[in-house]
Every structure is written in C-alpha cells, then in structure tokens.
Structure 1
Amino acid sequence: MSYSKSDISILISTMNRSDFSFLSAMFPHHEWRDLNLVIVNQTKKGKELKSNLENIIVVNSYEIGLSKSRNLALKNSRTTYGVIADDDVVYESDCMVFFLNAIQQKPELALYAFKSCDFNNRDRKNYPNSIFNFSLPLKKFKPSSIEIMLNIDLVKNKNLKFDEDFGLGAYYPVGEEEVFLIDLLKVDLNAIFFPKIVVKHLQESSRTKVKDYDFLKTQLILYYLNNGWIVNIWLYKYLFYIWRKRLQPRSEILQIYTIMSAELRKFKSSR
C-alpha cells in the first residue's frame, strides 16, 4: 500500500488567533493551504478563527490546557496519521518525505518519533544514532510532543488520549507526551524513533519555564508512572543530591520530602 501527504494532518495547538498569518512562518518550505491542518485555537468568545478551506479544520475552544488542545485535535482529525505541532515550530523542507518513508517502512506503528533541531541546526537533545524501539520502562531518551506522529486510528481504537492533568495549563505542567507514550506502550501498541530531523524549535524547553516545586512534583509522578515503587528510592536520592549540593537550605529537606510524599499519595488515590 502506498501513502501520500493526504493521509497526514498537522495537528496545531495555538491560542488567541484571528487569522492564519502564523502558518507562513511554520511552513516556509510548503504551501500551507495545500496541507491537511487541524488547528485548535484556545480563545475567547467573539475572537474565533474561521476557515473556508475543506482541508483546514479549525476548532475554537474556550478552555485552556495543552493536553485538552491535543485531544481536540485528535478528535477532529479526518486522516489516519497526525503530526503533533505547536505554533512556534518550523518544519523542514523534507519533513513530509521522512513522515511518509517511516509510514511505508513501519505501517503497523502507533507512534513515530523523530528528531528536532534548534535554529542553529543543532540537535535539541541527545538522540539515538539509529532506529530505536521504545519499551517500558522508558529509558533516558523520551520524545517531545513536536517530534511525534501518531496513527490516529490505532490510538482511537484503544481510547487513548493525552492525560489532561499534564502539560502546560494543567496541575502537572509538563510531561504530557511521556505519559501518553507510557499509556500507549501499556496497551501493547508499538512506537519507534527514526533519526531524521523534521522540525525546528527553540532549544529552551517548557520544562525550564516552571517553578521548582512544579518541576519536582511532576518529575516525581512521571518517575512513578514509568517505574512504579522504585520512585521512593529516586526521591531519597534526589533529596540527598539537593542536600549535598546545598541547592536548598538543609533545614527544608524534610519539608520537601513531606510535601512530595503527600503529592505521591494524592496521585495514587486519584487513579
């Protein structure tokens, strides 16, 4: 079976847009009007974005939260495959070639992960040098949302969604893609990394934009979801590291442990 770009949608999360001018910056090597786009615009009533093109689906939402936006995009997509996107990325000229080659090579996958680089063409993280199969527990390398393409049909068949407790605008402000990948692997779907650069983005991650407490509680829960009870050992080691490096006043270490333990108990009781 052969595939074409008509089988792929770009699923874009954005906010407060009233026109499509931002798309030219995202697709400098493509005519964006010829692409299948699903744009979720989180906005206010009276400031909606509208599309007159059949291949460009716009969903105006009056809620906030990145995972909520991702889920609306998946729900409204009409194609088999969907590329997760933010409105501040820039797609490489050969991205569609790499997407289609990956599908042709491994049509049975539910998740395809690729590389991204910064605007100086440097890799944004340490990537494997060759094709890499994801398995549980996840190792050091984990893909960012903007590096992911999904087989939407397989995802919907398993009722998979982005966990709306994670991601910008949620209680745990990062990690939505990691939780999604863990959930996907737990239901025996397959995911593979392909060492091809498809998109550019700033080197900075949203993980650096959240305050320390939010970062720590989120990392704690992500580690628990990925590794189970070993999270207790991780927390002891992390607090010892903070204590040894004097990153927090030593008098506050016990308080941090108490707060993090309560966070873990609260999360466990909610699931």
Structure 2
Amino acid sequence: MSALLTVAVAVFGERIAAVRDWAFDSRVQYLLLWQRPGEDRGGWPDNVTVLPLDTVGVTHSRNAAIDHCATPWLWFMDDDVALPATSIDVLLAELPQRLENEILIASVLLPDGRAMKRQPDGLRYNRRHILTVGTIQIIAQSDWLRRHAVRFPLRLGAGAIYPVCDEPVFLARALRAGARISHLDRVTVVHPELRSGQQFARPEFVRARAIAFYEIFGVPLCLIASLYFWARHARRIGARWPALFHYGKAG
C-alpha cells in the first residue's frame, strides 16, 4: 500500500545528527529538507529522503517540501520536536475520512505532557484562530497546495529578516484559496517549552506582526489588529512599538 503521509522535517546544518536518533515509522515517508548541508553519511531507512538545499530560512524548506512531497498528505515538522507513535496511529486512521478538510491542525504538548496549544476537536478555523498556530501543527493535502499555489512567505519565519508569523500568513493564503481547516485534537506533537520574551526582543519580531496583520486582515482591519496587539503587550514591546504599524508585503 502506498504511503498516505510525508513528514517533512526542516533541518539546519549539524542538527541533522539529532534527526538520526528519530524512530522513523515505516508506514510514513520522511523528507529531510537540509539547509547548510554537510557530508551525508548515508545509512538512512528506505522511507527517508534527504534533500540538500542551498537556501537559508525555514520557509524555503517548507515550500520545497510542498514541491517534492509525493504522498497525498504532508505534515510540516522541525528537528527539535518529538512525534508520539500514537499520533501517527490516529492520523493514519483519520486521514481517509478527512478528505473534506484541505488542512488539519494538530495539538502541541510540552515535554511534561501539558498542552501548550489545544483547541476543541473539530474546530473550524477562521482568520482569528490561525494567529496562534505553529507550523508543526499543520497537516495539509499536498496536491491541493500545489494546485492553488499556496506557499509560505519568504520574508517571514526563522532565518528570514522577520523571524516569526510565517504560519498564520500561510494559513490565511490557504483560507483565501478556499481551504477548510479543522482541528484534530488527538494528534499531538511534543515541543520544547518556548521562551516567550524572545518574540519582542528586536524590532524585526514586532514588525513581523504588522506584516502578518496586513496580509491576513488587509486595510483597515490590520490597524485594529495592531492596536489590539499593542494594548495587550505594550510593556514588553516598549520603544519598539512603531514597528507594529510598519506594514508591508510578506513575500
């Protein structure tokens, strides 16, 4: 039986050594998008493909995954997470029944088992809900993404000039193309705990929100979104607040 799912892992430089310790599930295809590659020692399982990339920026890896995925479904992943075997079990059972959804959103757990991001099962996502989704939660129909030319923004995301907010822009583009996005609570991924203070550390982090709000909501709603975000986080944003109103294209 052909595989239903590709897990596409964004890997940078020497971090590929950590991925070698993964327990690769034989029922799933894996695509390692390796930026700043070194020498590949080989020895990967037959269901693992390593694709060296000469680009920098995680959204380049995500878009390469869309272009090279050879299975009906694609799950975007990072090299610092863990995929419970039970999540693969549930997902492979659910995917044939979820064809009405172009995109599914998984839940995120912390290493101690606490939920970091969780929504009610079956929640239908809109522009407001997508603001808190991380890339490792996104499971999409690969052919649908290609047919509708839905791609990640190249100016946003880790390694880009504006290091955050690539996920909601990607999902906003999918919504505009007609995607039906639903939550699948029983599928989880384990992520290390985040240090929230980093998200306001530099003006680029703050301006990323402005760029995302502009693409997601358009004018004038992007201004309202910026004002609301500023009201909630004014102390941490501090003197960087003008960047929150510096709109532009996401690329």
Give 1:236 deviation, angstroms.
4.2
* 1:79 to 2:79 alignment: no
Contact 2:130 2:168 in 1 (8 A): no
Separation (CA, whole Å) in 2 of partners of 1:247 and 1:206: 12
In the alignment, which residue of structure 1 is the partner of 2:193?
A: 203
Separation (CA, whole Å) in 2 of partners of 1:8 and 1:22: 18
Of 5, 19, 23, the residue aligned with 1:22 is 19
Contact 1:102 1:194 in 2 (8 A): no
Separation (CA, whole Å) in 2 of partners of 1:18 and 1:49: 14
Separation (CA, whole Å) in 1 of partners of 2:57 and 2:185: 30
Of 143, 155, 177, the residue aligned with 2:145 is 155
Contact 1:117 1:197 in 2 (8 A): no
In the alignment, which residue of structure 1 is the partner of 2:216?
A: 226
TM-score between the two structures when normalised by the length of structure 2: 0.85
Alpha carbon RMSD of aligned pairs, Å? 2.9
In the alignment, which residue of structure 2 is the partner of 1:40?
A: 33
| AA at the equivalent of 1:76 | H
Of 103, 112, 118, the residue aligned with 1:120 is 112
Separation (CA, whole Å) in 1 of partners of 2:2 and 2:189: 16
Q: Percent identity?
A: 18
| AA at the equivalent of 1:221 | I
Listed as ranges, the gaps of 5+ residues in structure 1 are none
In the alignment, which residue of structure 2 is the partner of 1:88?
A: 80
Encode CA deviations 1:44-96: one digit per residue, 9 max, x unaligned: 5x534646655321111122100001111221221111111111111112111
In the alignment, which residue of structure 1 is the partner of 2:121?
A: 130
Contact 2:88 2:187 in 1 (8 A): no
Separation (CA, whole Å) in 2 of partners of 1:246 and 1:181: 27
TM-score between the two structures when normalised by the length of structure 1: 0.80
Is the alpha carbon distance of 1:117 and 1:77 closer, same or farther for their aligned partners in structure 2, counting shifts above 3 Å? same
| AA at the equivalent of 2:36 | T
Contact 1:10 1:36 in 2 (8 A): yes
Separation (CA, whole Å) in 1 of partners of 2:62 and 2:139: 12
Of 167, 173, 178, the residue aligned with 1:183 is 173
Listed as ranges, the gaps of 5+ residues in structure 2 are none
Is the alpha carbon distance of 1:217 and 1:131 closer, same or farther for their aligned partners in structure 2, counting shifts above 3 Å? same
**How do residues 36-75 of structure 1 correspond to structure 2 at under 5 angstroms?**
36-44=29-37, 47-48=39-40, 50=42, 54-75=46-67
Of 4, 7, 32, the residue aligned with 2:4 is 7
Contact 1:5 1:96 in 2 (8 A): no
In the alignment, which residue of structure 2 is the partner of 1:146?
A: 136
Separation (CA, whole Å) in 1 of partners of 2:182 and 2:66: 20
Is the alpha carbon distance of 1:260 and 1:142 closer, same or farther for their aligned partners in structure 2, counting shifts above 3 Å? closer
Flag the structure with larger Rg: 1
Is the alpha carbon distance of 1:33 and 1:260 closer, same or farther for their aligned partners in structure 2, counting shifts above 3 Å? same
